């Protein structure tokens, strides 16, 4: 139960993926109040199912599901996000720029879930608050960066870089682009290092100190279809390849895997309400 909760929470950042009409001009027209009235809010409720690795470096997969919520002022443009963004709130929200706090939750490692990880220490679920910056050089290109610090589970710095091309056809919005994840020594050694005591208990892993740097490179693609101004469906997939010290770690080479894939489907419902 504890592991399932952590997997669910780790997937929660995907919930901010935008649904219905967007800045990329999905052709479904939102109610006039969504853009013409400054007071009031637009909210999107979402439910998503995900299939992916149980934890960092794991070659064992599982299903999880989670709810999501996104809120914006009616007067602010709705921008298409990506399913692997952290959960952020834009305190600066302009047509070409967004900035604000962000957070992610990373799944715990329960070594009893994967036999090969016997002897490795468990890692509690991690909460990573920080900040994000998102820039739109053109209406079809989105650049995003996140910098976060673990306050539980691990206490290192971790960052994510993403670039997406946005393409719309009628009610369908497509996004795709590369991904890079970076971690400092504390983060990398927590998830990909092997201590002397762990090596002594494991029959597969030798002692290893994982240094900071680029952890993985990958690619994400997603499709959102707006059935009307309220309902939408999103499908997405992401591939990641460990590199550097993470790829050389016994955690990846002997216990788990260097590559992973995540896929999911979500349903969103958007609605407006007036200011209090």
Over residues 9-28, the pLDDT tens digits come to 444 444 433 333 333 334 33
Predicted confidence (pLDDT) at residue 32 exceeds the cutoff of 70? no
Q: Are 37 and 70 in contact (CB under 8 A)?
A: no
Are the C-beta atoms of 81 and 16 separated by less than 8 Å?
yes
CA–CA separation, 19 vs 71, rounded Å?
11
Confirm if 252 and 258 have CB atoms less than 8 A apart.
yes
Q: What is the pLDDT of residues 125-183, one digit of tens each?
A: 999 999 999 999 999 999 999 999 999 999 999 999 999 999 999 999 999 999 999 99
Beta strands in the chain (DSSP E): 41-53, 61-73, 87-88, 92-94, 97-106, 126-138, 141-149, 157-169, 172-183, 213-226, 231-242, 259-273
188 DSSP assignment: H
The per-residue pLDDT for 34 is 38
The model's pTM: 0.82
Q: At 45, is the pLDDT very low, low, confident or very high (cuts 50, 70, 90)?
A: confident
Task: State the average pLDDT over residues 212-230.
Answer: 96
Q: Return the closest-CA partner of residue 120 out of 53, 60, 192, 187.
A: 192
Quick one: tokens of 51? Answer: 């299939």
In this predicted structure, what is the pLDDT of residue 221?
98
User: Distance between CA atoms of 174 and 37, rounded to whole angstroms?
Assistant: 28
The pLDDT value recorded for residue 24 is 36
CATH number of 2-273: 2.40.230
174-203 average pLDDT score: 97
């Amino acid at each position: 139960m504890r592991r399932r909760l952590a997997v669910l929470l780790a997937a929660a950042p995907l919930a901010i993926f935008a649904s219905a009409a967007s800045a990329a001009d999905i052709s479904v027209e939102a109610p006039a109040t969504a853009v013409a009235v400054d007071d009031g809010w637009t909210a999107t409720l979402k439910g998503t199912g995900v299939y992916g690795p149980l934890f960092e470096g794991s070659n064992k997969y599982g299903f999880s599901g989670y709810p999501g919520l996104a809120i914006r002022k009616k007067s602010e443009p709705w921008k298409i996000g990506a399913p692997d963004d952290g959960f952020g709130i834009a305190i600066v929200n302009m047509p070409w720029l967004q900035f604000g706090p962000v957070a992610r939750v990373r799944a715990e490692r329960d070594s009893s879930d994967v036999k090969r990880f016997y002897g490795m220490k468990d890692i509690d679920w991690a909460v990573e608050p920080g900040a994000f910056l998102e820039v739109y050089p053109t209406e079809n290109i989105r650049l995003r960066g996140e910098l976060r610090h673990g306050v539980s589970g691990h206490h290192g710095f971790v960052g994510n870089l993403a670039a997406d091309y946005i393409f719309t056809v009628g009610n369908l919005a497509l996004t795709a682009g590369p991904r890079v994840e970076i971690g400092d020594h504390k983060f990398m050694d927590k998830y990909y290092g092997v201590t002397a005591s762990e090596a002594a208990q494991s029959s597969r892993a030798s002692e290893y100190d994982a240094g900071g740097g680029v952890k993985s490179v990958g690619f994400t693609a997603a499709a959102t279809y707006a059935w009307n101004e309220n309902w939408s469906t999103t499908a997405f997939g992401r591939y990641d390849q460990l590199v550097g010290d993470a790829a050389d770690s016994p955690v990846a080479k002997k216990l788990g895997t260097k590559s992973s894939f995540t896929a999911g489907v979500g349903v969103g419902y958007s609605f407006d309400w007036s200011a209090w």
